[in-house]
Amino acid sequence: MATKNTIRNWGLVAIIFIAIIYVLMITGKEHSIILDNKNGVSGLRYSIDGENYQEMGTKKIQRYVQGGSHTIYLKKTNGEVIEQDFSIQFREEEVEISIPDMLLGIMKK
């Protein structure tokens, strides 16, 4: 028959495993970010979370990211960099960001 200490120890192990699973689920959830520059500025380059800059063009771009907090960097042709931090809720599968609104500084946080 199991002693009280054995039951308590296995209970603590189960709680620790559940906490680890929860943290991994929150930090590892993949989200889709859509950058919409259809009616925007041409010649922009973008970076998400410090990755290498890529050409944007005047189209929609879909990228997949993990986690809840992210930063978008936009580099204009004159070298000016605009930085915008944003968060994605756990239940959101995708977020669409308007690049013209971001350039005007009216993006919702």
Q: Domain map of the chain by residue range?
A: 30-104
pLDDT confidence of residue 58: 83
Q: What is the mean pLDDT of residues 8-17?
A: 94
pLDDT confidence of residue 109: 44
Q: Which of 24-28, 36-40, 57-61 has the lowest mean pLDDT?
A: 24-28
Which secondary-structure segment (H or E) carries 73?
strand 69-75
CATH class given for the domain over 30-104:
mainly beta
pLDDT band (50, 70, 90) for residue 59 = confident
- CA–CA separation, 44 and 29 (whole Å): 28
CA distance to 12, 14, 16, 75, per residue, from 9 (Å): 5, 9, 11, 54
Q: 37 has which bridge partners?
A: none
23 vs 106, higher pLDDT: 23
With helix as H, strand as E and coil as C, how does 76-103 read? CCCCCEEEEEEECCCCCCEEEEEHHHHH
Q: What is the mean pLDDT of the chain?
A: 85
- 32 closest CA partner among 88, 106, 109: 88
- Does the pTM exceed 0.75? no
Model pLDDT for residues 62-94, shown as the tens digit of each residue: 999 888 888 999 998 888 898 888 888 877 888
